[in-house]
Amino acid sequence: MALFKTRLAQAIRALQDELAGGPRAELPAELELLGGLVHTREERARTKEEPEREILAALPDAAAVVGKDGLIRAANAAFEALAPSGRATGLSPIEITRSAELDEAVRRALEGTGRAIELELPARRRSFQAQVAPLLRGEVLVLLRDVTEARRAAATRRDFVANASHELRTPIAAIRGAADTLLGGALEDPGAARQFAEMIARQAERLSRLTADLLDLSRVESGQWVMQLERVELQPLVQTVLELHAGRAAEKRLALTGAVEQPLAVRADGRALEHVLVNLVDNAVKYTPAGGRIEVSAARGEREVLLTVADSGPGIAAHHLPRLFERFYRADPGRGREQGGTGLGLAIVKHLVQAQGGEVGVVSGASGSRFWVKLPGA
């Protein structure tokens, strides 16, 4: 044994000298054989693991293999990204996800029983469908499919259908009630007949606006409204929008003005940008009290152009601002309907601006509201 240890120490020193640049080491036959066997074992292990890693890497979902000891032996990049340190190998599933339910599912799978579970990761604000399945050699395959966006989209669709149904119900009920009253005998009374006919006309106009806004929003979100980005001069565009609202502003004695730097242009879709400004000025005219002021302005920034529509209205409470651009959201639902709004105008504005590569927002206080749009300069 002492002789073997001596020869082993000599062989190690000779290999170290060779690796340091010395002559090739002459090793005993036994050590050459031992080295070859170790190399063969490592090659077999690597050959066995490489196809497994290739399969894991090819999966679109986060995937990992949990060994018999309950620790992750191999994982793809998507699963590794879930680990706090960015490396999942060597950790247990509960260390990565903090989910006792997943940990229990893995434990049962190690005993031979697979299952599918719903998994929430609050720290990451993500939702997953987890599939935990036992493998033939006693290990476990864990697949995590991210369903966060799918669930969010489904919730948005449900909210949209519910809100649209609610918005349609009121004018339809009013039209039906007025028609029933007319058919029930009110036609014989000219005064009453005119009153109910005007009610039908108002509600039909409301339905028309709602339908038009729904179609516009659908076209923008589905990509059917194709943006033709080009140079758009702002002075004539703002002037057109001001002239369009001049009559209604005069009826309320509103000072409607424009202030555009000259010359100034943006890279945008002219039709879409006009739609955006029309919606913003229309809202300002609706909600600014008689005798107030509205100003449409445009100024050059460092890399973009800032357009603003400012009014001297009552302002919007701070807790409404984060949701103001959501579909059908109204800061004052009753007042919005009275003014003829559909609750979709600002949602259309947001989608149109984003489709042109811009940003939109609002600042509001006791002295009024200021809606702003940033677009790339031409």
The pLDDT of residue 106 is 92
The pLDDT of residue 314 is 87
* Interval 314-335 mean pLDDT: 76
Q: Specify whether domain 230-376 bears CATH 3.30.565.10.
A: yes
Q: What percent of the chain has pLDDT over 90?
A: 30
Q: What is the DSSP letter of 378?
A: -
Those residues with Cβ within 8 angstroms of residue 291's Cβ, 6 or more apart along the chain or in another chain: 252, 253, 254
Half-sphere exposure at residue 340, Cβ-oriented, CA atoms within 13 angstroms: 13
* Interval 113-127 mean pLDDT: 86
Ramachandran area for residue 121 (φ above 0: left; ψ -120 to 50: alpha; else beta): beta
Q: Specify whether domain 151-222 bears CATH 1.10.287.130.
A: yes
pTM for the predicted model, two decimal places: 0.56
Minimum mean pLDDT range among 127-131, 214-218, 355-359:
214-218
The pLDDT of residue 293 is 94
The pLDDT of residue 204 is 85
Find, among 307, 311, 329, the residue nearest to 320 by Cα: 329
The pLDDT of residue 319 is 86
Q: Do domains 151-222 and 230-376 have the same CATH topology?
A: no
pLDDT in tens, 253-281: 999 999 888 889 999 988 889 989 998 99
> What is the DSSP secondary-structure string of 284-315?
HHHHSPTT-EEEEEEEE-SSEEEEEEEE-S--
pLDDT in tens, 54-66: 788 888 899 999 9
pLDDT exceeds 80 at position 30: no
The pLDDT of residue 18 is 66
pLDDT exceeds 70 at position 247: yes
Q: What is the CATH number of domain 59-146?
A: 3.30.450.20
Domain parsing of the chain, residue ranges: 59-146, 151-222, 230-376
